[in-house]
Amino acid sequence: EELGYTMKECDTESEAKDFAAGMGENSSQYPVYGFISDTTGEKLYEEFYTGEEQPDMQRFTSLGVIKAPVAAASLNDMEGFFAQMEQLVNKTGVEKSEIVKLMEKYIPTFSHIETGKLLDKKM
């Protein structure tokens, strides 16, 4: 139990979806269905911090919280990233690989795994 919510383990995807569809506004349970994923962008495990950041792994049972992140990138770097990203997304016929390449340029720890299968197609 975390923050008043408890997990309801479901044996099938259908069971989880049915439970979610029937959840009331004040539900204290949430459905969880575990499965092996083969979709684009999936990793063996998710880490959203670097070795230079200090995660607090005690606050929640299975979720870390960053206590004190490293200093933010320079304003010029961030402005450059957003300007280039805006150009890409406004471009006709932009390729996903172009966006991935730009993100890899500005986020050294970013590692995208392309499988050709998308998570939103599975949901």
The residues spanned by each domain of the chain are 1-35, 36-122
Across the chain, which has 123 residues, the per-10-residue mean pLDDT values are 86 94 90 84 70 82 71 74 94 92 86 79 66
**Residue 21 pLDDT:** 93
Q: What are the strands, taking DSSP E only, across 6-91?
A: 6-9, 29-32, 55-56, 65-66
Distance (Å, whole) CA 31 – CA 11: 10
**Residue 71 pLDDT:** 55
Asked if residues 36 and 13 have their Cβ atoms less than 8 Å apart, the reply is no
**Residue 120 pLDDT:** 72
HSE of 117, CA atoms in CB hemisphere, 13 A: 7
Distance (Å, whole) CA 9 – CA 30: 9
